[in-house]
Structure 1
Amino acid sequence: MPPLRAKKPAATAGAKGPRPHATTTENQEEGAQVKRSSSPPHGAPKKRTAFIDITNAHKVQISFPGRRKKKEATKKPPARKASAPSSVATKNQANLKKCSSESSEDAPAERETPEEVEEEEEEEEEEEEAAAAPVEELVVAAPPAGGEVPAHLQKQHVPAEFDIDSESSEDCYMCPEYAKDIFDYLKRREEKFVLVDYMSTQPSLNPEMRAILIDWLVEVQENFELYHETLYLAVKMTDHYLARTPVDRELLQLVGSTTMLIASKFEERSPPCVDDFLYICDDAYRREEIISMEADILQSLRFDISIPIPYRFLRRYAKCVSAGMDTLTLARFFCEMSLMEMELVTERGSLLASACLLLALVTRDLGGWSPILQFHSGYRTAELSPVVRKLHRILSAPPDDKLRAIRNKYSHQVFFEVASLPLVSGDLLEEALSQ
């Protein structure tokens, strides 16, 4: 496999500009949104909307004097039950005659053709028959017995001590009414994206090559200042594509850069363009190759790229214990390090996020897996222990000098230099897991 070459992206229209290093609540993950002028040039025709014309302008009908409009056949709604049907029918017939006489007085005199006379007589006969018909009773569907809501639509009761969304009731962007339902849905959706160890089906690849690719994708995420969600989604799509399609080692970097392009379109406000990814690959591939690979990946994944990623669960679970930004960043460092490990590819995102948060809490001596975390995650400490032990073993191993992107990234002061913090000892970890 050729060495992965990376350049800092050129200042193109699709890439984001540099940002100052200042600590924010999200470690400077948000980028400036590109503003585009919407005013047309002088003398240019007015542009149409992106979708269809949603106004009623196209429905305006122009009536010409002296020309009789043809009545459209409309389905009449059933009339309500009345005490005296004969009187209602008489009033309807009188109103119809009155309306027809007023319209004939307003319209200028015009000689009618035999076809129009015959058509008018047929309409009058239909109106008389409708007026003479008995009034139908309005049938109202009976409500379900007892007003019971189906089980799948019933909202799960959240105890007051486990409620973490009521404090955001005034913030519509937090969706407090649906937050738990959304994450429960994502957790159920994980079953569709369970992976197995696919490396045995890749004759030209090995776990070390995949780790080099992930390390390079972290550098791409930093150079383009992309969201962390974009990185996680790109890694997930890469694994799902490799689990379905054998790939030659010379095309592995093309797969990684293409999944990052797709993830950027899915997550970013202003995603980098194709030329930016060609430049970051040092022009190792052509434009037609990355576009063809994009189509191949999307078709292989059946265009279902809304894959639950551990990063989203991690932020949700950290909110349960009101974890500080330094603790959350430490858990994010553990979670990002897990991306390079092939033995953790088979783990579900929610389970991996829970294990990373538990290891961060124990490392900072903030307690273990509390009941509120068990309620929202659905995992007990015994279910998390095997993954926590794997993470501890991986992080305790001597770092590889060739794979330094994540450690260098989290050694910066913006990320509280969490990569340089000492890891909890094995004895303390076992004591916390046994509780």
Structure 2
Amino acid sequence: MKLIGWRLKWRMQRTQLWILDCGDLKDTLAVVEYIDDIYAYYKKTESSGCVSPTYMDRQFDINEKMRAILIDWLIEVHYKFELMDETLFLAINLIDRFLERCTVVRKKLQLVGVTAMLLACKYEEVSVPLVEDFVLISDNAYTRIEVLDMEKLMVNTLQFKMSVPTPYMFMKRFLKAALSDKKLELLSFFIIEVCLVEYEMLRFPPSLLAAAAIYTAQCSLYQFKQWSKTSEWHTSYTEDQLLECSRMMVSFHQKAGYGKLTGVHRKYSTSKFGYAAKAEPALFLLGGL
């Protein structure tokens, strides 16, 4: 009986993979033969890139609000330099992992931010901005030597561990499972970028953040709960497992255009990003809270 159950599960898995990836069979870059193993590995190792959701308690001169201001500004820098999405998510991951391990005075926090963006560019980009570009964007608050010294400190502190699963890696796969169109994709990325600014979202692993962002975007677009069996299969999350995170996302979506930190909202209020920020938040998910 156990053997029959295993075979049935294996056949179901192969069917799900075929449905999702059959269109990419001739694309060697899609690595259809290995894609499921790759994402299983990402899921298994995602904790290696996570930080304690209370690490800021060990910082004596910076706080959650300062982190939020820094990341909101870095999202604008990322947009100004026209960098890849992967670069933004990695840069913020580097910042959090570094701050978890090293105490930083507030006047050096922006230096940590631009250095993390520089490192992420070197890892992800084909054409990397110059150190001088980051000095200039920081209004010459730091010198070239200071940036390079911080770069050495960061890579040594992180033991050169740059390749960690970020929410971006899961977003691309999970959007495919959700049969996403451009509208859903842009709204999902708007929601998850809003979450990058929020320190309290560090409590959720990258895969859950990605799945919840897509689920929340679907609820926002269609104004009813929607989470297919295919999405559940490929994300390994049920709708119930996403709800807590999703409700927090709805609250952030609701207030994204207000207050002082509106960088993500302004970015996604442009035609380039499909005016995604103007979508109505899925307030019905907050019912009963």
Q: TM-score, normalised by structure 1?
A: 0.61
Partner amino acid, structure 1, of 2:39: F
> Would you say how many aligned residue pairs link Structure 1 and Structure 2?
276
Report the Cα offset of residue 425 of structure 1.
2.3
Q: Distance in 2 between matches of 1:303 and 1:287?
A: 21
Instruction: Answer whether contact 2:62 2:105 (CA < 8 A) is retained.
Output: yes
- Name the counterpart of 2:50: 194
Instruction: Answer whether contact 2:221 2:280 (CA < 8 A) is retained.
Output: no
Q: Distance in 1 between matches of 2:241 and 2:155?
A: 34
- Name the counterpart of 2:206: 349
- SS of match in other structure, 2:13: coil
Report the Cα offset of residue 158 of structure 1.
2.2
Report the Cα offset of residue 362 of structure 1.
1.0
Report the Cα offset of residue 167 of structure 1.
1.5
Superimposed CA distance per residue, residues 189-215 of structure 1 (whole angstroms, 9 cap, x where no aligned partner): 112223112111111111111111001
Q: Distance in 1 between matches of 2:147 and 2:214?
A: 37
Q: TM-score, normalised by structure 2?
A: 0.91
Instruction: Answer whether contact 2:75 2:88 (CA < 8 A) is retained.
Output: yes
Q: Distance in 2 between matches of 1:161 and 1:267?
A: 30
- Name the counterpart of 2:249: 391
Within 5 Å, which residues of 2 pair with 1:68-107? none
1:405 is aligned to 2:263: yes
Report the Cα offset of residue 223 of structure 1.
1.3
Instruction: Answer whether contact 1:362 1:368 (CA < 8 A) is retained.
Output: yes
Report the Cα offset of residue 156 of structure 1.
8.9
Partner amino acid, structure 2, of 1:160: T
Q: Distance in 2 between matches of 1:170 and 1:224?
A: 34
Report the Cα offset of residue 393 of structure 1.
1.9
1:292 is aligned to 2:149: yes
- Gaps in structure 2 of 5+ consecutive residues: 1-9
Report the Cα offset of residue 280 of structure 1.
0.9
Report the Cα offset of residue 253 of structure 1.
0.3
Q: Which segment drifts farther, 327-336 or 281-290?
A: 281-290
- SS of match in other structure, 1:296: helix
Instruction: Answer whether contact 2:51 2:97 (CA < 8 A) is retained.
Output: yes
- Name the counterpart of 1:29: none
Report the Cα offset of residue 373 of structure 1.
1.0
Instruction: Answer whether contact 1:162 1:375 (CA < 8 A) is retained.
Output: no
Instruction: Answer whether contact 1:165 1:179 (CA < 8 A) is retained.
Output: no
Q: Distance in 1 between matches of 2:11 and 2:56?
A: 41
Q: Distance in 2 between matches of 1:297 and 1:329?
A: 32
More helix by share: 2
The higher radius of gyration belongs to 1
Q: Distance in 2 between matches of 1:244 and 1:264?
A: 22
Instruction: Answer whether contact 2:50 2:97 (CA < 8 A) is retained.
Output: no
1:158 is aligned to 2:16: no
Q: Distance in 2 between matches of 1:393 and 1:321?
A: 23
- Name the counterpart of 2:138: 281
Partner amino acid, structure 2, of 1:376: H
Which of 17, 32, 37 is matched with 1:181 structurally?
37
Instruction: Answer whether contact 1:230 1:264 (CA < 8 A) is retained.
Output: yes
Q: Distance in 1 between matches of 2:118 and 2:254?
A: 33
Report the Cα offset of residue 159 of structure 1.
3.5
Q: Distance in 2 between matches of 1:172 and 1:156?
A: 24
- SS of match in other structure, 2:203: coil
Instruction: Answer whether contact 1:162 1:372 (CA < 8 A) is retained.
Output: no
**Cα RMSD after superposing both structures:** 1.8
Partner amino acid, structure 1, of 2:21: D
Q: Distance in 1 between matches of 2:61 and 2:258?
A: 22
- SS of match in other structure, 1:158: helix
* Overall identity of the aligned pairs, in %: 35
1:168 is aligned to 2:24: yes
Q: Distance in 1 between matches of 2:180 and 2:64?
A: 34
Q: Distance in 2 between matches of 1:334 and 1:398?
A: 9
- Name the counterpart of 1:119: none
Report the Cα offset of residue 340 of structure 1.
0.6
Change (3 A) 1:398 1:277: closer
Q: Distance in 1 between matches of 2:92 and 2:12?
A: 35
Partner amino acid, structure 2, of 1:296: L
Partner amino acid, structure 2, of 1:380: T
Q: Distance in 2 between matches of 1:156 and 1:212?
A: 49
- Name the counterpart of 2:170: 313
Q: Distance in 2 between matches of 1:228 and 1:193?
A: 17
Instruction: Answer whether contact 1:238 1:256 (CA < 8 A) is retained.
Output: yes
- Name the counterpart of 1:237: 94
1:370 is aligned to 2:228: yes
- Name the counterpart of 1:267: 124
Superimposed CA distance per residue, residues 95-140 of structure 1 (whole angstroms, 9 cap, x where no aligned partner): xxxxxxxxxxxxxxxxxxxxxxxxxxxxxxxxxxxxxxxxxxxxxx
Instruction: Answer whether contact 2:208 2:237 (CA < 8 A) is retained.
Output: yes
Q: Distance in 2 between matches of 1:269 and 1:165?
A: 27
Report the Cα offset of residue 367 of structure 1.
5.0
Partner amino acid, structure 2, of 1:201: R
Partner amino acid, structure 2, of 1:334: I
Q: Distance in 2 between matches of 1:353 and 1:308?
A: 11
Q: Which segment drifts farther, 336-345 or 187-196?
A: 187-196
Q: Distance in 2 between matches of 1:307 and 1:235?
A: 12
- Gaps in structure 1 of 5+ consecutive residues: 1-154
